[in-house]
Structure 1
Amino acid sequence: MGYPKRSEVAILLGFLQLILLEPVVGRFVVEKNSLKVTSPDSIKGNYDSAIGNFGIPQYGGSMAGTVVYPKDNRKGCKSFDDFGISFKAKAGALPNFVLIDRGDCFFALKVWNAQNAGAAAVLVADNIDEALITMDSPEEDGSSAKYIVNITIPSALISKSFGEKLKTAISGGNMVNVNLDWREAVPHPDDRVEYELWTNSNDECGVKCDMLMEFVKDFKGAAQILEQGGYTQFTPHYITWYCPHAFTISKQCKSQCINHGRYCAPDPEQDFSTGYEGKDVVHENLRQLCVFKVSNESKKPWVWWDYVTDFQIRCPMKEKKYNKECADVVIKSLGIDLRKVEKCMGDPETDSDNPVLKEEQAAQIGKGSRGDVTILPTLVVNNRQYRGKLEKGAVLKALCAGFEETTEPSVCLSGEVETNECLNNNAGCWKDDKANITACKDTFRGRVCECPVVNGVRFHGDGYSFCVATGPGRCKVSNGGCWHENRNGITFSACLDNEEGKCTCPPGFKGDGVKSCEDIDECKEKKACQCPECSCKNTWGSYECTCNEDLLYIRDHDTCISKRSSEVKSAWTAVWVILIGLGMAGGGSYLVYKYRWRSYMDSEIRAIMSQYMPLDSQNEVPDHIHEDRA
């Protein structure tokens, strides 16, 4: 297969770990700090100690304290509260550094128990004569995950012989005072710090993956400001193994590797029969490397931080979005040249070396004072591996310790970082240019894409590709994020001003209601003008239907009728209305006349008869002539 001869034994053994589940053996350089005993005189002097791979070492600084060796629970595997032991220093006294014996439980658990009892730092005395090793955190599980992330005090491993000297001095009644010094733990030759982060795009590897991604998101703002100011030179790296030649046709290699077994990664779920495969991780690792290279060529290497955080948010494995399609959307949203990225990645199926990944494998091998990179995540500052908690404040201290004195940037002096990423291409977040509304927010930890609240109207969405207004009044704010269009003075909208916040294309249109609503051709789809005499013409949002010759179209019934028949019917209708009206008027007049005539005749007859024959109901009529004479 044309593999070059390598001295990189760690890489080969790294892949064998995938198959045989054996630990990696490589050249691991222990990062040390100086421990100085100031009293008693019998053991006064400088000693080496190996910085723990958790907690927060005081890079660039030092700590003074008094060493305390507990009478009980000397291995620190149980809570010191159970023994009534407290290491909290009294007011005005030096802080207590607790000496604990190695054995029986995890290093991190020992430190956690001592921290809870008030210790300012922990020294773990080795129980065998050997070269110093680095105390690492245990394989994550439910119990250890709860305390590892909360360890804040520094810790270090000391040799068995030095531990015995400390115990002898303490048992002899001496006060043992020491200084822990991290000022030389990171070289600081000039006014620029070079650092690299060995990471992974896999988001299903448990607590360490979660911790790594939280760090990347939290540290992004500071990293970008340092890079933009020219204070640092950052380089991301990804650990890659290769498949031994004898196994290249095996099921494991085919599912875990690309380029015919040259570049491999472990199965994300540790299950070869389901979910994503190791080669999926290699693909994305390669893509993230190429995103960095393309961004670096355009003088914007800090865009890598935006891509990895956005990809983790938008394309997680749990949602089955960990794929090229989702990655391409993120790349385009950040204004990165997708064609250059694809060219950089090359063909993963070819039986030849990939220049980018080949360079990564070479970089894993330790050079100078730096050992082989075998642990994820690993941070290297000025070619020294960082030890301690992967936390923004601690890492920033380590970076600042790498500057030559008096050349530190202001972020190292104030601890504050101001960002203004939203002004540059909206930082890849969603934006409505017409309404000038954006989901981009500048924060201390860098920009975040969160849908906004505008005039009491809340927008919902992923903050990257879309934000949609919901609730009453939403249609007044950028049309609720729904489709709308105006043609020739006519406007159609898919926005409905309701609580649901759904975008629904209006009648005469079809589509998702958000990005588009297309006019329905009622004529072509035979939804109108189906009568034999009809002629259909499609219009925007509607249609026009006409009838042949002298026929008239009735839209409600989708039919044509004769114009003449309609006119004759209309004329006869008018005639009948007039005749009926005249008849009703004549009949009414006759009834009125008849009623009034009968009333008149009745009154006359009654008057005449009353003179000759008084009625029973009326009094005798007086003699009008007699009355006149009187």
Structure 2
Amino acid sequence: MGYRNLGFFPFPWLLWLSLVPLCMGRFVVEKNSLRVTSPEKIRGTYDSAIGNFGIPQYGGSLAGVVVYPKENQKGCKDFGDFHISFQSKPGSLPIFVMVDRGDCLFALKVWNAQKVGASAVLVADHLDEPLITMDSPEEDGSTATYVENITIPSALIRKGFSEQLKKEINAGEMVSLSLDWREAVPHPDDRVEYELWTNSNDECGFKCDMLMEFLKDFKGAAQILERRRYTQFTPHYITWFCPQAFTLSRQCKSQCINHGRYCAPDPEQDFNSGYDGKDVVIENLRQLCVFRAANNTGKPWIWWDYVTDFQIRCPMKEKKYNKECAHSVIKSLGLDMDSIEKCMGDPDADSENPVLKEEQQAQIGKGSRGDVTILPTLVVNNRQYRGKLAKGAVLKAICAGFEEATEPSICLSSDIETNECLENNGGCWQDRAANLTACKDTYRGRVCECPLVDGVQLKGDGYTICEARGPGRCNVNNGGCWQESRNGLSMSACVDNGEVKCKCPPGFKGDGVKTCEDINECKEKKACQCSECSCTNTWGSYDCSCSGDLLYMRDHDTCISKNASAAKSSWSFFWVILIGLAIAAGGAYMVYKYRLRAYMDSEIRAIMAQYMPLDSQGEVPNHVHGDRLDRL
């Protein structure tokens, strides 16, 4: 039963292949202690198997009262449909729900009980058999939505013990018990040794997603523990080997390296497309060698930076899961590439690989630890962890491995202070000249995100490049374009018009990003071509001069005499004045003639008006004329 997680191999022959190195091993069920405190007749200590999901209370215990529902006793349906609640009242003990095994997944039973307030779940076995580990199911549309949200502990109990509990409950007795995880992890001294059996494949569904999320979340805490020498961490990777009869088959060639000695399942479960299993084996081997190289420098915690960075920068979905991308991550972390390549060896060689051979040997259980058959698996002080692979739950298990009173402060407080950006800039992009960095320190460890500078969001992957784009980009590190100053004169290739463009200014040539070289206009553009001209190149421009007392005119590219130019200017000024005076005199004469003529016309009209009527006047009345005659 412990081998059911190997079922994520899609082909029967590969499933059989995967069991080859494990046939001589054994699977160990991790147990916690269950102690009944009442009623008196069944008081005592019993074994229970820790479920491989939810959050066991490692290092602690939990007391409660057992309830066996009258309806939905297998817990496969929603208890809310039966109007059942297991929410304990204030001041009362938590409620442990006992459900029967069968008809549905273990995890679904626990989830249904958690939704209505249960503090823990006991699953009663319906078979007389040794205890098994209740494992989390493989991903499908219905399970992925709740498995990762289970937060209460659960345990499988034997059939005989469950029947005793049911008998007492049916008789009206209150059954109280406690689940004890204080001895679930050995704690011999003040240092914890733990291992993580992992995989670089990021396309295996729910379990791969859970693993990748855990690596990212737990990195900060893991590095603190390692830096301060509280723990000794070792990563491991499961591989399988191909039976000798199949080493020349297409399947083994595509899924294995070193002539069938080390294999992994096809990531996409399709031999005809995408990545092959051997790609996963090679990357697993590289990650093992990264750990060894980092460990040799006294900084084993760099492994956590590599695997999380590789996950972000080199995912299978983006077709970047390859050697080139891995090398860029290694380079950014300052690790020795040559030593890592030497450690990996030749994957095409028909011989053992020392690193992977050690991994296959370590996979077999030793002492109290069983075989590693479930991925991912955490081993703390040689005891396999059971429960949800989540930061808080795993940290509890690790802290339970310290000898009493030797736990570091990280186990007693959630406040973890670290700044991973102080060393090697966290492997992120930076511009020392502009004092800019993409490294951002967080509680979960550093992240590489391009910064926001003066209202401009820099764009890029955060590891190798961050560029300013859009309006205002030239104000931030000159938009990533070329810029230079000489003798108080500054030149820039940044074009701030919303375009992502670096263009050398007039008088320069180049890509505009790294270089803009001065153009020698005297040679390349053949400036100053007149016979008397002399050309001198300057930074970004040029100067032309003429021999003797000649003056250069740039618009006409010619030289003229300074005296001729002055005489010409004087005569031009004289003629302008003369013409101006003539125009003024002519204008005054015309005004004079107009006013004189108008005056004479008015005088003549006045005189004539005395002797005869004008057209504009009427006849003079007769009595006026008679009066004048009488007077004569």
Q: Work out whether the TM-score is over 0.5.
A: yes
What does 1:51-90 align with in structure 2 at a 5 Å threshold?
51-90=50-89
Residue 3 of structure 1 aligns with which residue? none
Residue 506 of structure 1 aligns with which residue? 504
Residue 92 of structure 1 aligns with which residue? 91
Change (3 A) 1:577 1:254: farther
Letter of the 1:504 counterpart: C
What does 1:194-209 align with in structure 2 at a 5 Å threshold?
194-209=193-208
TM-score, length basis structure 2: 0.84
Take 2:138 and 2:598, find their aligned partners in 1: how far apart are those partners?
A: 124
Residue 432 of structure 2 aligns with which residue? 433
What does 1:332-347 align with in structure 2 at a 5 Å threshold?
332-347=331-346
Residue 314 of structure 1 aligns with which residue? 313
Take 1:540 and 1:158, find their aligned partners in 2: how far apart are those partners?
A: 90
1:528 and 1:536 in contact (8 A); partners too: no
2:553 and 2:559 in contact (8 A); partners too: no
1:15 and 1:264 in contact (8 A); partners too: no
TM-superposed CA distance for 1:60, in Å, is: 0.4
TM-superposed CA distance for 1:460, in Å, is: 3.0
2:586 to 571, 588, 591: 591
Residue 424 of structure 1 aligns with which residue? 423
Take 1:462 and 1:314, find their aligned partners in 2: how far apart are those partners?
A: 8
Residue 347 of structure 2 aligns with which residue? 348
Take 1:384 and 1:65, find their aligned partners in 2: how far apart are those partners?
A: 26
Letter of the 1:379 counterpart: L
2:470 and 2:500 in contact (8 A); partners too: no
Q: Deviations over 1:481-526 (max 9, x none)?
A: 444333555433343445x47242334444373xx245487999x9
1:616 to 608, 612, 619: 608
2:52 and 2:135 in contact (8 A); partners too: yes
Change (3 A) 1:320 1:530: farther
Letter of the 1:405 counterpart: E
Matched, 1:386 2:385: yes
TM-superposed CA distance for 1:615, in Å, is: 3.9
Letter of the 1:588 counterpart: I
Take 2:534 and 2:252, find their aligned partners in 1: how far apart are those partners?
A: 64
TM-superposed CA distance for 1:437, in Å, is: 2.4
More off after superposition, 446-455 vs 295-304: 446-455
Change (3 A) 1:141 1:597: closer
Take 2:98 and 2:288, find their aligned partners in 1: how far apart are those partners?
A: 44
Q: Helix, strand or coil for the counterpart of 2:86? A: coil
Q: Percent identity?
A: 64
Take 1:476 and 1:371, find their aligned partners in 2: how far apart are those partners?
A: 61
Q: Helix, strand or coil for the counterpart of 1:451? A: coil
TM-superposed CA distance for 1:290, in Å, is: 1.1
What does 1:563-582 align with in structure 2 at a 5 Å threshold?
581=576
Residue 163 of structure 1 aligns with which residue? 162
Q: Deviations over 1:168-223 (max 9, x none)?
A: 22222222211111011000001000001111111111111111111111111110
Take 1:547 and 1:282, find their aligned partners in 2: how far apart are those partners?
A: 73
Letter of the 1:20 counterpart: W
More off after superposition, 589-598 vs 482-491: 589-598
Q: Deviations over 1:559-613 (max 9, x none)?
A: x97758x999989987995796477357537636865886899799999x99xx9
Residue 288 of structure 2 aligns with which residue? 289
2:290 and 2:303 in contact (8 A); partners too: yes
Take 2:275 and 2:520, find their aligned partners in 1: how far apart are those partners?
A: 46
Take 2:159 and 2:457, find their aligned partners in 1: how far apart are those partners?
A: 63
Residue 20 of structure 1 aligns with which residue? 13
Letter of the 2:367 counterpart: G
2:528 and 2:535 in contact (8 A); partners too: no
Matched, 1:146 2:138: no
Change (3 A) 1:589 1:543: closer
Q: Deviations over 1:413-448 (max 9, x none)?
A: 113211121111211122221232222222211112
Q: Deviations over 1:50-101 (max 9, x none)?
A: 1000000000011111111111111111001111211112222211111111
Change (3 A) 1:553 1:301: farther
2:10 and 2:269 in contact (8 A); partners too: no
Residue 36 of structure 1 aligns with which residue? 35
TM-superposed CA distance for 1:360, in Å, is: 1.2
Take 1:421 and 1:80, find their aligned partners in 2: how far apart are those partners?
A: 47
1:452 and 1:459 in contact (8 A); partners too: yes
Q: Helix, strand or coil for the counterpart of 2:54? A: coil
Matched, 1:395 2:386: no
Take 1:138 and 1:413, find their aligned partners in 2: how far apart are those partners?
A: 33
Take 1:539 and 1:395, find their aligned partners in 2: how far apart are those partners?
A: 71
Q: Helix, strand or coil for the counterpart of 2:15? A: coil
Q: Helix, strand or coil for the counterpart of 2:167? A: helix
Take 1:258 and 1:554, find their aligned partners in 2: how far apart are those partners?
A: 78
2:64 and 2:177 in contact (8 A); partners too: yes
2:504 and 2:512 in contact (8 A); partners too: no
Change (3 A) 1:439 1:89: same
Q: Helix, strand or coil for the counterpart of 2:418? A: coil
Residue 377 of structure 1 aligns with which residue? 376
Take 2:336 and 2:435, find their aligned partners in 1: how far apart are those partners?
A: 26
Letter of the 1:371 counterpart: G
Q: Helix, strand or coil for the counterpart of 1:442? A: strand
1:256 and 1:266 in contact (8 A); partners too: yes
Count residues in correspondence: 597
Change (3 A) 1:467 1:554: farther
TM-score, length basis structure 1: 0.84
TM-superposed CA distance for 1:41, in Å, is: 2.5
Q: Helix, strand or coil for the counterpart of 2:608? A: coil
Letter of the 1:22 counterpart: L
Change (3 A) 1:543 1:402: same
Residue 625 of structure 1 aligns with which residue? none
Take 1:107 and 1:455, find their aligned partners in 2: how far apart are those partners?
A: 54
- Unaligned runs of 5+ residues in structure 2 are 612-632
What does 1:402-481 align with in structure 2 at a 5 Å threshold?
402-470=401-469, 473-481=472-480
Take 1:233 and 1:539, find their aligned partners in 2: how far apart are those partners?
A: 67
Residue 620 of structure 2 aligns with which residue? none
1:546 and 1:552 in contact (8 A); partners too: no
Residue 619 of structure 2 aligns with which residue? none
1:552 and 1:561 in contact (8 A); partners too: no
